[in-house]
Structures are given as structure tokens and as C-alpha cells.
Amino acid sequence: MTAQLLTGAAEPVTDRTVVGENLSLPLFRTLSGVLAGHPYLKVVVDRAENTWHLLDTAAHPFHVNYIATRILGMGLTALDADLDAFNASVYMAPGRRFLLGVLSLHTEQDTDGRERTFLVLETTEADTMHGELLASFYEFVRARVDGRLPLFLKPANHGQEEELAAISELCVPRILSHELFGSRARAPLNPGEATGRLRFFRTREEYAAAEAGLGWADIVAMPCLPDDVPRVAGFLNTAPITPLSHTNVLASGWGIPNAIVRDLEQLVDKDGLDGAWVRYRVREDEISLERLDHEPDLRAPAWHQQRIRLEPPLLEDVPVLALHRLRSADRDRYGTKAANLGELHHVLDSRTADLTAFYGRPRPPREDLYGHLAARLGLNAPSLAELRAAAAAFVATTIGAPEGVALPFALQQHFLASSPALQQGIGKLKMALELDATDVLDSLCLQLQHLIRHTPVPESVTRQISQAFPAPADPRGRLVVRSSSNAEDLPGFSAAGVYDSVTTAHGADELLDAVRQVWASLLSPRSVRLRHQVGISLDDTYMGVIVQEYVPASLGGVLVTCDPTRREDFRNVYLNCSPGSPEQVVEGSVLPQQYLYNTVEGGGRTVALGSSGDGLSAATRARLADLCLTGRLLQSHFSGSDVDRPLDIEWLMTDRGDFRLVQVRPYAL
């Protein structure tokens, strides 16, 4: 079948869609488009007519539009008016007439180095096909595809994986998502484009020797970038890393491209790219590195002129407070992290916050997504008031907020004022910043940090801390001491990984040492330089501290309420986890398991198994789906009027199986 599609006054577009024909490789290439770097083709199986439709990708970007208009004779207006019901009929009905899928073309090298081409069949991520229907779909397509091309079925979600578990792989050969994409040579982490000089380092020692000379026009490439990398034009990793690592959060906040390019060393050696000027582009479906034949005429980036102004901190004497007594407005006294955790306590205790606003926003052609949220919460046609109450109850029963106390900025101020040596050192640093004497900044900062760590804490400050933090049952019990500055989580300045937290303090003496270490991190060479680059004054910058009892974790990690590599995706939440504390994930000490969870239609899928090599149990994955839905609901509250602004949440699962959130902040976009 061929047809002409009229598009206004433009020339007719040829529709090369075919019906009923067997699929050869040349026909596939004629009809296919490219997604995530792979050729793909949409297919529709019509079980009532015992035939299939191979859609011309250029003419038909959506399965449902094609079915409605070309097979059922509906108009798009009628389809949009009843879109969710129509989607349910083609993606969820057990006895559905149509089976919708995508065929993608892949190549890999076998053990002898020979290239093998194969096809992968999958449904959309929201499809709930049971095992028998999946097998029928595969068999129908297998019978109509060139027999010389191997064909594998890729489960689109965890539910399909479980359904296929009971079916022999001899009947339905399959490949899992992490098997297909986990070892790909190139993967986007943060989209963007940069022109600069490529600096390739094979080892940490090579990087350390050149670090002081790196500048804003450099693109830094190495196996795994360190968390303290300076602000440059772009990042390139040659080893696997998660999109939720500290370095990628920095790339996102700085608006610079970042990707995994495993074959970079071969490209560098082949084309002499180290030290060369290049144009570097990262997109969802493209990662390119183009050598330039001359040095470009570059202007300093916009952030060189960027000036971030902080609200003046409030330094009046306020008490050390339990976290549950804080609200978001207290960030000017106790820091952003502490204030957000206090706000989380309020949300969980009050049950009055509206956590449904994200779902109330129009997503054309839908007026809202309330029906999808109701389905996720197991409700049938609730009123808006009932939906809001159910959302609040769901969040309160799924997670807990951490207990602990917050030390205000005023304590740090009293400590600094208690030492003439500290005051003199701070004065010298301020003078160097005013004169832009960057050559002496590092030495001044390191001297100040040393002084802070070894200056006695005034008795009045020590007394406030000891009186406010109840003694643990074990006098040598483990404490966690976290930073909470007013110079972080700001538009244009996320400060991810810039300030210190101490997770192994024991007893009163080590607690004071840990508090001083957190205070000292506000004056580290890196934090001072980064703030100075964007015009944040040292006079306005203060550090609060969070003190908590250590909670053992069986699983921990971080989630962001978006897909970091697909910013237009409003459905999915990206979650990373590994056994133990969330710090292992964000610091990159292990390669975590990575999952995507759909918070609209439901379902989840595994992106990568990480260092462990093993997936989680179905029961644990279901718990994580609830956690991701909770993160999406909290976004409605913490993102304010911009309900589409995603959150960055650190979490842990206790030995008892309870979820605790240990940090809630905006995700840098």
C-alpha cells in the first residue's frame, strides 16, 4: 500500500507503509527511522485480519494515530477526545485486536570478531501483554521476517519479564534491555554541545598533573572524571557511569555535554584528537566528536558574567532544632538541606499538602492525568478531594523522614568569631578574591581549612550541640553529619558533591571533629573557586549542619523525577541503587543498578545491573515503583509553581524494609 499525505500547501509526502508483505532487510531500511542511534520500524499486527502493517516511520510517528485514522476510519479529534480509553484498548486489553511493537536493527561482534546483524522486537513500555500474547506476537513476526535475520523479543517492562519467565527461550528467544544496551560503546548522559580543546587523560595521575592548567575552553576526557573536576566546556567518560553521578549532576547544572564513549582512546590515537580543537555534540540519538582544522574564535561562556545573588543569611541567635521543627523558609538560618528535610516532615505529618499538582497539569491532548494517578492508587473515579487525600496517605505510608537536629548558621559564625587567627585568614581570602588573585587562593583556603579543623570549639557552642542532640543508647554510636549550606541547590549553582558530609562519626569528640570538617568544606579551594566564578560573595555564604544517628541500610540510592537523557519525558523516574548507603551511588564508588519507572501508566524496566550483576527481586522492584511514585508526588509540593521541575532524592531502605529519604532538592537542569 502506498498513499499521498497532504500537508497544507506543501508538496504531498509519499507514504510507503506496506501491508501484509514479508520483511526483508532492504524493505526495513526503506521504511525505518533512527532512535537512540539504531534503525527502527513500527509494526501493527491486526489479529482480526490476520495481517500486519509496516509503518513508514517518516509518515506515521504514532501507532495509535495510524490505527485510528488508517484502519478504523476515525478522525484525530475523535481519537484525542477518548485517547486514554483507546490506549487501554490497544496496550492493556487481554483480548485486544491489535498488537503494537517496534523492530530495531542492531549489530554486534561475535567472539571471533565477526559482525552479526539481528533484529529486536519490543512493545511500548506501558504494554501489559501476558505471556501467551507475547509468544503469539513473536511467532507472528518471526514467520514474516527474513529467516536469515535472528530475531529476539525484548521485554518492555518487569511485568513482561515475569510473564516470559515461564516460556522456553527456545520458543521465544529474548534479550533483556540491560543486555542490549548495557555494553554499548556510546551512551548519552547529559545533552548539549560544546566547542573546545580535547584533553584526554588515561590515568588519574595524568589528570592530576594537568588539573591546574584546565580552563573553561577544555573538554575533559578520561575513564571516570573525579567529583572535584573544575568547570570546563564538556565531559567525556570512557568507562561506564550513571547519569545520577555527582559529575553528571554537575554537567546538568552547568549545561555542558557529557557522554560515555568507550572507544574514545582508539579515536584519539587514530585521529590525533588529544589537544585538538573539536566540536562535541551529545543528543539522545547522536554522540559526535568532530575535529576542527583551526583554532576557533571562542568567547568566554555566559557563566563568566553570571552573578548569583544570595538572600542575606539570618545570623541572629536561634537554637539548634530538631529537623521536624523546620520549614522550607528556614533555609536562611539552617541551610537548604535541613530546611527541605523539615518541610518533608511537615508534608508527612500534615496530610493537607496537595501532592497531585503534577498530574493536574494539561498534557495535550489530555486535560490532566488525574485518571492515571487514580489508577496507580487503586481508586475508581474519585473526586479531586478524595484523590488528594489518597495521594497524601500513600506518601505517608511509603516513606519516612529522617530524625536529627540542625545546627544554625549562627553557631558557625560564633565559632569563626572566636578565633583571631581565623578572622585574619578570612580577611586575607576576601582580599585575594576582591583582587582576583587566583594564584594564591588554594594556599589561603587550605590554611583556613587546617585552622578550622584544629581550632577549639567554644564551650557555648559545644553546650548547644550536646543539649539539643539526645545521647544515643551507645555512647560510641555512629553518627552522620551532613552539610547544609545556603550556597547550594540554586538556579545555576547546584553544588552537588562540593561540600563535605561525614558518615562515620562516633561519640562526642568525633562529632565535634565532623562538624568542623563540614564547616571547613565551605572554604575548600574548589568550593571557593566555583562560587567566585558565579559571583557568590564569601560574606553571604554560610554552613549549617545536620546531625543524625546512623541508620543501617540494606539498599540505598538516588532517584530523579525525570529521565536525565530525555528531558521531554514526563512519565519516567530514574532510580539508581546498590546494597548499603546512598553515598556509594552518588560518589561513584560502585556502579549501581539502574531502573526507569513509569509514573503515569505504570510499569518499570531495568536499564543496567551495575557492579552487582544481579537484579533485584520482583517484590523489591515493586517497592521501588512505589518509591518512585512517591517522588513524583512530592515534586508537586517541592517544585512550587513549576511542577515540571524534577527533584533529586537520596533514599535508603532500612533493614526492616522501610524507606527513609535523607535528602530532597531540585534536580539541576
> Quick one: 164 and 30 in the same domain?
yes
User: For residue 605, what are the contacts with CB-CB under 8 A and spacing of at least 6?
Assistant: 125, 155, 156, 157, 158, 177, 595, 596
Q: What cell was used for 585? A: 551511588
pLDDT for 489: 85
pLDDT at 3 over 80: no
For residue 452, being part of any structural domain is answered with yes
| Same domain membership, residue 374 and residue 353 | yes
For residues 67 and 129, membership in a common domain is answered with: yes
Q: What is the CATH number of the domain that holds 247?
A: 3.50.30.10
* 586 and 540 within one domain: no
Burial of 478: CB neighbours in 10 Å, binned 0-12, 13-18, 19+: middle
| Contact call for residues 257 and 502 (beta carbons, < 8 A) | no
pTM: 0.89
Q: Residues 278, 289: contact at Cβ < 8 Å?
A: yes
Burial of 44 (0-12, 13-18, 19+ CB in 10 A): buried
Q: Is 322 contained in some domain?
A: no
Residue 560 identity (one-letter amino acid) = V
Asked if the structure places residue 333 within a domain, the reply is no
Give Dmax over CA atoms of the chain in angstroms.
Answer: 87
Residue where one domain finishes, among candidates 175, 195, 211: 175
Q: Is the pLDDT of residue 178 over 70?
A: yes
pLDDT band at 580 (very low <50, low <70, confident <90, very high): confident
Same domain, 490 and 398: no
Can you say whether the dihedral through the CA atoms of 81, 84, 90, 96 is positive or negative? negative
Spatial separation of the C-alpha atoms in residues 287 and 187, rounded to whole Å? 8
User: What's the whole-number mean pLDDT along residues 526-540?
Assistant: 90
How does pLDDT run across 584-632, given as a tens digit for each residue?
666 666 789 999 999 999 999 998 888 777 889 999 999 999 999 999 9
User: Residue 334 domain-assigned?
Assistant: no
Quote the domain boundaries for residue 630.
343-403+552-666
Q: How confident is the model at residue 438 (pLDDT cuts 50, 70, 90)?
A: confident
pLDDT of 666 strictly over 80: yes
Domain boundary among 175, 196, 220: 175
**Are 390 and 412 part of one and the same domain?**
no
- H or E stretch covering 136: helix 131-142
Q: Residues 341-355: pLDDT tens digits?
A: 999 999 999 878 899
| Same domain (yes/no): 23, 121 | yes
| CATH assignment at residue 450 | 3.30.1490.20
Q: Is residue 330 part of a domain?
A: no
Tell whether the model's pLDDT for residue 548 goes beyond 80.
Answer: yes
- What is the reported pLDDT for 474? 63
Q: Is residue 43 part of a domain?
A: yes
Residues 148, 22 within the same domain: yes
The string of pLDDT tens digits covering residues 131-158 is 999 999 999 999 999 999 999 999 999 9
In this prediction, residues 495-499 reach a mean pLDDT of: 85
Same domain, yes or no: 531 and 566: no
Confidence of residue 183 (pLDDT cuts 50, 70, 90): low
In 97-185, DSSP assigns E strands to 98-109, 115-122, 151-153
CB atoms within 10 A of CB 380: 6
Q: Quick one: the chain helix, strand, coil %, rounded to 5?
A: 35, 25, 40
Long-range pairs of 23-29 with CB within 8 A, sequence gap ≥ 24:
23/54, 23/103, 23/144, 23/145, 23/146, 24/146, 25/117, 25/146, 25/149, 27/54, 28/103, 28/105, 28/119
The grid cell for 28 is: 526495513
One domain for residues 530 and 560? no
d(CA 13, CA 4): 6
Mean pLDDT of the region 83-88: 93
Place of cell 547544572: 253
Cis before residue 365, ω within 30 degrees of 0?
A: yes
Say if residues 33 and 57 touch (Cβ distance below 8 Å).
yes
The grid coordinates of residue 26 equal: 532492504
Span 647-665, average pLDDT: 93
Let me know whether 494 and 558 are in one domain: no
> What is the percentage of the chain residues whose pLDDT exceeds 90?
69
Task: Please identify, among 503, 524, 545, the residue that sits at the C-terminal boundary of a domain.
Answer: 545
Number of domain units in the chain: 4
Instruction: Answer yes or no: are the C-beta atoms of 638 and 548 closer than 8 Å.
Output: no
Residues 131 and 212 in one domain: no
Q: Own/partner pairs for 440-446, CB < 8 Å, 24+ apart?
A: 441/525, 441/528, 441/529, 441/532, 442/525, 445/523, 445/524, 445/525, 445/528, 446/525
Using an 8 Å Cβ cutoff, are 292 and 195 in contact?
yes
Is the pLDDT at 128 greater than 60? The verdict is yes
Q: What is the dihedral of CA 578, 581, 583, 585, to 10 degrees?
A: 10
